[in-house]
A and B are shown apart, each in its own frame.
Chain A
Amino acid sequence: MGHGAGGRAMAQLIDELFQRHLDNPLLRQHNDQALFTPPPGRLVISTDGHVITPLFFPGGDIGSLAVHGTINDVAMAGARPLYLAAGFVLEEGFPLADLDRLVASMAAASRSAGVPIVTGDTKVVERGKGDGCFITTTGLGVVPDGVAISGDQARPGDAVLVSGSLGDHGVAILSQREGLGFATEIRSDSAALHDLVAAMVAAVPGIHCLRDPTRGGLATTLNELARQSGVGMRLREAAIPIQPAVAAACELLGLDPLYVANEGKLVAICAADDADILLAAMRAHPLGAQAARIGEVVADPHRFVQMETRFGGQRIVDWLAGEPLPRIC
């Protein structure tokens, strides 16, 4: 792949590649923007830059991840995602065949989610100034009336639910990247969650908080929610779903699965009285089949997220400050 003046032909080539895979009426307008009439209601918009090594991993690649990640960020407001925009930064020399694979994967993800990519841009940077391929996606969605989901809505007494097993994505990535050979067993959970969210909102319109525990894992997400809402949380270690293969890999590597990234899971916080209904709705959906109630929101001026261990201890599940380093002296 060329860069600069000599890359003009290449830009043409890339453009055609996108058109071929992502073809839809808005993209076909060939403008620098997509023009449409928004449906009535409140709009949400979210953007995310996707950077990942390796670009291809068991259960997905950076293309599908860029689609799922932004759809999920939009969906966590309880919204129905409408459109996506995508920006690519490619490193000079990035194989065209790989790009073809990525864009095809994006197209498939977008099609199966029913959320078209309607505008985009590509830049090629000099060799050594990028890491193969970065993708930024922006998503637009509409929030149904009566839904007011936000990270500051958790109240003491609320139930804390997760939609399925934790750590699958992060361990799949690590396994691939570090050449650790659990690759065959563990696949990324990368998935678009808006359909699950729609089912959940239909069952319990008054859900308080939704968030996808991506980077930093469940621990970081719950700490963010606790801080935003000014509350504490109490989890039960035994109730947190973790696949045996993921648990074993974490055990081996010395990782805490609560800090490992997920790309197809969500955390939901709702009134305790709604918890059973919400849990049932989640479990009725294929992406929530392993959903579980893992703890509760409590009043706590310290805003601790704490976890009852299997021995009955109360361990703080802290924010992660940079790299995890042992604290034992």
Chain B
Amino acid sequence: MKHGRYPFILSFLALPVGLYAWLVILPFAQAFQISLTDWSGSSNSFEYIGFDNYVNLFKDERLVLPALRHTGIILVVLPVVTIALGLFFAFMLNLGGRVRRGRIEGVRGARFHKVVYFFPQVLSVAIIGILWKQVYAPENFGGLITGALTSVGLPAPVNGFLADKRMVLAAVIAVLVWSAVGFYLVFFSSAMASIPRDLYEAAIIDGAGRGPMFFRITLPLLWDSVQTAWIYLSIVALDVFVLIYMMTPERGGPDAASEVVGGVIWKYAFNHGEQAFASALGVVLFFAALSLAVVSLRFGRRERIEF
């Protein structure tokens, strides 16, 4: 297979890599260049100001610092909760059912659940935003959760969840989890399906319960998938923005309580007329994401190139 190897490789890579470099890499390089200027975004003049934008980023206590904090919280909470729920659901749907003739099964209605859980994945963020805004609304404006809480005698925030500084971020994260869990349920289910059934059946004969079964067999064998999920979810976490834009008061409020990095970039670029400053923040976000991914990939993956 040595013959014509490199021409082949080249012919297959030229177009995708070329297109990618031209339309993705190059624009990003320009964004980096912009971040070194004072460009407003609506003018054709600017000057270079070195790394001032980067220095000023970390002095901005109104938007940037809260946004970094909130993005950090999402970066931790979203993957943990989503993966935990995804694993739990996947385990239940695939292995949580009765044991029949020595074979272990998923709970009843597993197929139905899989279809339903995945559904939010196909909704556009715009639709999800419209939907949950109503779910979180104040009680007297038709809020589903506030209404439910009050009807069972529990306290509910009078202005709804999204107008409450203490609740808004948690409310946003809940929606993110809601829309992501289905994907990871299917993702982990698929991985679990590839674990030989004999392992479980042997465990059942040994009298192992579901809990030990999960922690001794499923989780270790799923570790690669969990890591992949972690990376995907980290990317989602860093990218959270459109949902907040659609859902929260003042697109990141109230009073910056749900401001995230993506939203601040947007605000500076298009509402403040400070494209260069926004670009600097974008570059920081990019490198943060990149190092996160590299670290996970480096430590988490076996190299497996064949031929």
Binding partners A and B? no
